[in-house]
Structure 1
């Protein structure tokens, strides 16, 4: 598989503190790639660098061999690199379907047509229902998003990300705070989304990482400790000590 997103020598300093230290990262197109590591390892900072919410101190970021290091977040998003955040961000007073319609209008010219009636959004309803089915929300299409369970809100957030037609989806702790049932729902959503997209995820649930991810990068103190398949990294003594707290 070709490399869709690459970081070379990526470093971020905050004063005297080095949060990300000379990270090299290659994301294969069509894969599900996890970034894991203990708290403070630099995972979210690395996400913020890749999506340009932070500018690197040094290093380079390439998307399909194009240097995007100095682009703004909106420019990166328009290229097709879309991210979610740790805190679910949906419009609770709108229905799940209306949330999707809001997202679906972004790739069209509709956001610039402020003089037109909101009824023009109905032209996107079939696509909205299709996306809802993709993430198992077709039965909740007309329900206010604020009434959905936490797991289904996260599924809706991923659905709105899908609606933006990304090439690469970066998901920051998509399973955080979930019960087992919700974890299963969102894992299925991510697996389905990855059929025609590349997914990069920060995740602490190692069972989810094992079940979903073909490639795993382990960070420690802002540096890459090891990278490989789950079975490979789980047997690594440094990983077991740093991440799992045991060398046994």
Structure 2
């Protein structure tokens, strides 16, 4: 069972962020694990090219698994034509130097190189897909979420992070984060229709997705989970 490295919460096998604390998930590495990235330090000049090769493999895996596989060629073409590619060429040289330092220290070399490249590849892919591919993505990804890269639990306000991820300002539905100004009738309807939090469970946001604004359908996010009711469905 996959667990969060920060709070030890059980996670889905393909989770990249912890649903409890918001921390980025780093894959566990054991002594029996085969290294994911094989770097050869006999010819240091070739390291940037090898790192680029591994990045392109990660690029294809990300696009085909988390986006639309049929769009892969368009994402790849965008990568080749963008200014981002020029920045990547510099980054490969920097990563080669960092990997060589890890190799020279001879301390958990395979594990630390895997962590170094995996973390950097994920961050670079996030930036490229969110900043350079807005018109290709099948759903909107707010730029604000990039500010939470590298942060650990306790370094940020989890409520603000969730609201930034939701990017409510660009949504058509009516959302409430201040429940003092939320109409009492709407709050009551939500509580009767789909919002059933435990005692002292902090509510972060309530979304009204009804046509006429009754808030009998929608969703709510709390510090512990998500509650929802879609049209003609039970909560």
Q: Sort the TM-score into its range (normalised by shorter chain).
A: under 0.3
TM-score, with length taken from structure 2: 0.28
TM-score, with length taken from structure 1: 0.27
- Larger of the two Rg values belongs to structure: 2
